[in-house]
Amino acid sequence: MSTNDIEEQKLDGDLSIAASEGSSVAVGGEEEQNDEPKKEEIEEKKEVNSHEEKDEAPSMVKEEVVASNDLAPVKKAGCTKSKILMNVVVPSIFLACVIVAVAVLAVRYKNFKKKYPGCKVDHQNWIANGVCQNKGLKYNIAECQFDGGDCDEFNSMYPNCEVENPTWIGDGKCNGGDYNSDDCAFDGGDCSEFNENYPDCKVEDPSLVGDGNCDGDDYNVEVCGFDGGDCE
């Protein structure tokens, strides 16, 4: 065998080895590329499973229930703030909560009309919410059971007192106008000291008298002690 033949065989062998190594590298590269989507798929599956676990165990989400706690369908659906915030990831949760919310509102409306058939107000949820609303807004009337009972104590103490904000009566701050009247027990006693010091002082906000700031007009007059001394 000639030297040329030997060199040709060696060259062929080197080419074969190179080709073999190249193919293995290529295959390895493909395998590495194939591994990446598999990892992504695994992560996606984990994420889906995580959401599914949250869906299956709504009671584990210790958030304030969006709808009323006294309605079984809401508890069963587990419509929480967390689930609504997840609507970008799990749209079905948001849709389910909307459906439940509509059903809840329908039940509430039906129950309200049954309990207060003649009560026509703008905000039904203000009835029996613990805050007495004024008569002018038609809450503190017989048809609405005197604001669902919220105004019973107020009406008993001040039967002829009609003011915009009944909760201001006896809150520790002297309010003027109809609040500081005999019918309202002089703002539930809040204006007793003011009336004693300035019996003829008639201002919109008596709490501004003697607060350290000089107020003009009706405040800075003799009967109001020149704004309780603030303007001296």
C-alpha dihedral sign at 183, 187, 189, 193: negative
Tokens of 148: 């669902």
d(CA 176, CA 84): 46
**CB 113 within 8 Å of CB 100:** no
d(CA 116, CA 127): 10
Higher pLDDT, 154 or 64: 154
Higher pLDDT, 25 or 5: 5
Where does the pLDDT of residue 232 fall: very low under 50, low under 70, confident under 90, or very high at 90 and above?
A: confident
pLDDT digits (tens, 9 = 90+) for 42-71: 454 444 444 443 443 333 233 333 434 444
pTM, 2 dp: 0.55
d(CA 207, CA 174): 6
SS3 23: helix
Residues 90-114: b if buried by 16+ CB within 10 A, e if exposed:
beebbebbeebbeebeeeeeeebee
pLDDT digits (tens, 9 = 90+) for 159-209: 999 999 999 999 999 999 999 999 999 999 999 999 999 999 999 999 999
Tokens of 101: 């919310």
Residues 180-192: b if buried by 16+ CB within 10 A, e if exposed:
bbeebbbbbebbe
pLDDT digits (tens, 9 = 90+) for 85-117: 665 556 666 677 777 778 778 888 888 889 999
Q: Quick one: what percent of the chain has pLDDT higher than 70?
A: 59
